[in-house]
Amino acid sequence: MIGSLRNKFEHFKVSEKGGRQLSATLPKLLPAKDLDRSTIYKYRYNYGVNLGALFVLEPWIFSKETVCTVGGKEYDSEFDAISQQLKKHSSEEVAKMLSDHYTKYINRIDWEWLSKDAHITALRIPIGYWHVEDGKHLDSLPFAPLRKVYELAKPWEKLAELINTAKKMSIGVLIDLHGLPGGANCDSHSGSKSGEAKFFHKEKYMTKVYKDILPAIIKTMTLENENVIGIQVVNEACFDNNPKGQKFYYSEAINTIEELQPGLPVVISDGWWPQQWADWVKEKDFGEIVVIDSHVYRCFSDSDKSKDANTIIKDLVNTVNFPREDADYTVGEFSGVLDGQTWDKTSSDRDATVQKYVQAQADVFSHVASWGWFFWTLQFEYGDGGEWGLAPMMQKGNLPKRPQGNDLRIDKKKIDSIIQEHETYWNGKGKNFEHWRFEDGIKTAVDDMIAFRKFDNSLIGRWHSWKSQRRAEYISAKKDSEFMWEWDQGYQRGLDEFNKY
């Protein structure tokens, strides 16, 4: 397999370490009292949801109302469905089908419920490369024959409207480049169904995306919208023990984005191996800008199907084990679904077990996924989606809701007590410590948390990046020391004690 990959990359140069180091200068974080909404949008911990099948069509979510069904036959991939429709209808007619779907989907979003009841912080919106600027960038790419349909359907206008509406509700938007040319995986949600993941093996595809498509997204969607919280440059990359192509593309994509909009988070896939990508992010010094996306499903693998539900729930603390000290993580997709074979082995009440399962996932995520989670998914053509649907999972109390409010009051006596506890523990243990650094750390953390709470009752997220930058600022102001571990412990203790509801 390694030899085969090597042959595929002979025609272009990739450094052994996988592309460029970050060349852009990131903007400095402001003091807590001056933090702006744009910063908090990009860092806060997310209680989010996916808008599955809005732009990237998936027939199991929406079929008859879109172009997915042609002559009674349902097509898995968007490319196949559109191509079949064009055999029966004009480009204008097919574009209207798509446009009508976008409009109906968006009009069905209950923004008041999302914001005031579910209290969602962000939407993850899957798009395909073929949607960007209404098909403008399709030259030499697989969707090129369908350009006119997207030019007429105007998905880019719909996305702009959606981002603007979300902004009015203080909801962020993660733009997820879900479909890449050739596919980052073998699934039809990449837009086409070839049975191969070709993207990372074709230089022209990767170059087109990081030189053309990503800049277009930034220039038209992110620069003027403070509530765009990041760009996900790939969805569910295939596992690869020697991911040379992935490293090359991620490095180039990260540099492209940061050169055009410094500080905008870049989301990559964990490739079903979280530690592999934490190590790479650390090696490349990308930790202050990159978030690693891991999808948590326990209904697809043979291993999970062989277990009963309670075993799966019990194992979550071990199986969702992101290295949070090395990088920032988000769970871009998860659900309440378990396979039928799992339910056949489970004797406990289904509703109660689903509640236990979903709550357990959210609890584990709160400890290891620093950028929070995005449930899959928001709405369906028919029904509420059951264990796949945000609304029923919220309404049954399975998914936690963020409390309302916008203020955080911390008893000064509690802080003083923690500081005294630290000093008492270390005094007399053989060194002249710098306990004032511990005090500085915890008080800085508290000031940051108060600032976040003032914007829609938000929590600090992206802990790895945030702490790293605050630490660097502190060293710049008060010099480095062998006792910086006291500041580290103080800041972390503040997060552990107060950065929660």
Structure tokens at 420: 């005294």
- Rounded to the nearest 5°, which phi and psi values hold at 272? 65, 25
Q: How many angstroms separate the CA atoms of 44 and 21, rounded?
A: 26
Q: How many angstroms separate the CA atoms of 279 and 287, rounded?
A: 10
| Active-site entry in 78, 252, 333, 486 | 333
Q: Are 323 and 281 in contact (CB under 8 A)?
A: no
Q: Could you identify the residue written with the tokens 């490349």?
A: 284
Sequence-distant (≥ 6) Cβ neighbours of residue 470 within 8 angstroms: 29, 444, 448, 491
Residue 325 is given by DSSP the state: T
- Report which of 356, 331, 359 is spatially closest to residue 461, judged by C-alpha positions: 331
Q: How many angstroms separate the CA atoms of 368 and 322, rounded?
A: 6
Q: How many angstroms separate the CA atoms of 467 and 449, rounded?
A: 12
Q: Could you identify the residue written with the tokens 């509640």?
A: 355
Told to judge if 258 belongs to the known catalytic residues of this protein, a careful annotator would answer no
Q: How many angstroms separate the CA atoms of 142 and 80, rounded?
A: 11
Q: Are 69 and 76 in contact (CB under 8 A)?
A: no
Structure tokens at 246: 């992935």
Sequence-distant (≥ 6) Cβ neighbours of residue 289 within 8 angstroms: 22, 26, 254, 258, 263, 264, 265, 266, 465
Q: How many angstroms separate the CA atoms of 235 and 238, rounded?
A: 9
Told to judge if 236 belongs to the known catalytic residues of this protein, a careful annotator would answer yes
Structure tokens at 271: 């490739």
Q: Is the dihedral of CA 390, 395, 396, 400 positive or negative?
A: positive
- Report which of 219, 221, 284 is spatially closest to residue 250, judged by C-alpha positions: 284
Q: Is the dihedral of CA 451, 457, 459, 461 positive or negative?
A: negative
Q: Are 74 and 63 in contact (CB under 8 A)?
A: yes
Structure tokens at 184: 């980052």
| Active-site entry in 58, 236, 288, 486 | 236
Residue 82 is given by DSSP the state: H
Kindly list the catalytic residues: 236, 333
